[in-house]
Amino acid sequence: MSKPVSQRPPAVADMKTAADLLNVLPETTEIIDGHLVIGGVDMVALAHEAGTALYVMDEQTIVTQLRDYVKWTRYHWDEVDIVYAGKAFLCRTMAELVQREGCCLDVSSGGELAIALSAGFDSANIYVHGNNKTDTELIECLEAGVGRIVVDSFEELERLSTLAVERGIVQPVLVRVTPGIEADTHDYIRTGAEDSKFGFGLNQGFALEAVKRTVALEGLDYEGLHIHIGSQIYALQSFSEAIRTIVAFIAEIQREVGVETRLLDTGGGLGVAYGVPDEPATIQEYGKVVIDDIKEECAKHGLPVPRMAVEPGRSIVANAGVTLYTVGVIKEIPGVRTYVSVDGGMSDNIRTSLYDAHYEALIANKADRPRTTTATVAGKHCESGDIVVSDGPLQEAEVGDILCVCATGAYAQSLSNNYNKQVRPGVVWVKEGQWRWVVRRETYDDLLRCDVFDKVQ
Ligand code: LLP
């Protein structure tokens, strides 16, 4: 039932009113008999069968995004690692898919590492991040034989060296550099500026000192550098600027330390469309800018072109996912606004409360009707700020409707929580008319599992 990407334009014509949402929905989206259909699966029937709230992800869209990264980076340079950033969304099936597509994985905690290893992910293809890795985590990484550890502080360098030497390991490391670039994005997800808890500042000379110490310390193999300037970035110039800066630094390392930088990891950050007017750069444009810029800058400095890595998270999964809810209470406050409350909220998607993020919603069982009303989609939590969509267009909502919030594939499930002891939704993957759980819905037993009932004496 699902349509291949090439058939996307005809689907637009059928979609009438939801047509404007195509740029934020999965590539297999169709409207059939007024119902939203993704991956050949009717979202209304799925909601009734699997229950709501529910995260739904389209496997084909994820695969397309991974393959686009592979294609449009390796088109310009053979040696590029696509390192999927697991923080955007991770479960074992996802790790397995990333591996099947020939990509590497970025983990940023012992927990993410455990999931990857449990899925049989080849540890040599794992990159490890974190500004405050614990000894336990570093030991887990060394013992698993991870490919690269991205070091973030002088203190970590010393500890990692000791732990590696104790185990007779020489660990390849990347030094994370804060290039002093202000990426054009939300303050909370901007990471490359000088005032950042991440990395070694370039302008203060810390980065050069970190490279010197890495080279000098036993048990560490200086493989290269890492930068990550932020997330949800639309302006490709921010990446270009960071690349100019970091390649100049590679030249400085070559001069000052006399060591070759064999790998340059430029992090993630490519933005995606959440709303109708959003027009992020494509993966093709991003690949060209990043890879060509690195090659050009290296040529300018007379440097050999290093192996490269990019670490996309959001742009792999955001538009592959939607969240389905059932509409409950509808409150119309005359002259103020209409609240449409759903059976989830800030526990399954905190991005609106946290970053004032913009989302689009539609009613899955009225997908062919115009979104003529304006409604605020509110959650069921005990907070006024528990809003998923503020004053957005929506079809006329009724109790029992299945409401779909678009583009929730990244940083929704991974940031989910049990506030108000809400059980977290499960994650369903859809493909060619079939659906399956990849993360099951939580139950009250899951809430009780960690609760040690030590009765009051
Ligand atoms: N590499 C590193 C070292 C990162 O810290 C991140 C994201 C990525 C790669 C992936 O970046 P992406 O391609 O997804 O932009 N919770 C926030 C996003 C935080 C991003 C953290 N780091 C949000 O929901 O917008």
CA 21 to chain CA mean position, Å: 21
**Which entry of 104, 141, 298, 382 is annotated as an active-site residue?**
382
What would the pLDDT profile of 419-440 be if each residue is shown by its tens digit? 999 999 999 999 999 999 999 9
Q: State the closest ligand 1 atom to the C-alpha of 186, by its place in the atom list counted from 1.
A: 25
Tell me the CA–centroid distance for residue 444 and ligand 1, in Å.
Answer: 31
Phi, psi of 351 (to 5 degrees): -65, -30
Tell me the CA–centroid distance for residue 188 and ligand 1, in Å.
Answer: 11
Distances 33 to 2, 21, 41, 387 between C-alpha atoms, Å: 15, 18, 13, 30
Give the position of tokens 């409401």.
403
- pLDDT band of residue 188 (cuts 50, 70, 90) is low
Question: DSSP letters along 132-152, please?
Answer: S--HHHHHHHHHHT-SEEEE-
pLDDT of residue 199: 95
> Which of 41-45, 115-119, 183-187, 417-421 is predicted least confidently?
183-187
Please confirm, yes or no, whether 382 is among the known catalytic residues.
yes
What would the pLDDT profile of 324-366 be if each residue is shown by its tens digit? 999 999 999 999 999 999 999 999 999 999 999 999 999 999 9
Give, using CA atoms, the residue closest to atom 23 of ligand 1: 411
Say which DSSP state 72 is in.
Answer: H
CA 69 to chain CA mean position, Å: 14
CA 240 to chain CA mean position, Å: 21
Say which DSSP state 233 is in.
Answer: B
**This prediction's pTM:** 0.95
- Of 314, 346, 350, best ligand 1 pocket probe by most atoms within 8 Å of the beta carbon: 314
pLDDT above 90 coverage of the chain, percent? 90
Give the position of tokens 């009707």.
369
Q: State the closest ligand 1 atom to the C-alpha of 412, by its place in the atom list counted from 1.
A: 24
Give, using CA atoms, the residue closest to atom 8 of ligand 1: 268
Q: State the closest ligand 1 atom to the C-alpha of 414, by its place in the atom list counted from 1.
A: 16
pLDDT of residue 17: 58
Give, using CA atoms, the residue closest to atom 19 of ligand 1: 189
pLDDT of residue 194: 74
Q: What sign for the dihedral angle of Cα 393, 417, 57, 443?
A: negative
Mean pLDDT of 276-282: 92
Amino acid identity, position 43: M
pLDDT of residue 6: 32
Pocket lined around ligand 1, Cβ cut-off 6 Å: 85, 87-88, 106, 129, 189, 228, 231-232, 267-270, 311-315, 351, 355, 411, 415
| Mean pLDDT over the full length of the chain | 94
pLDDT of residue 281: 97
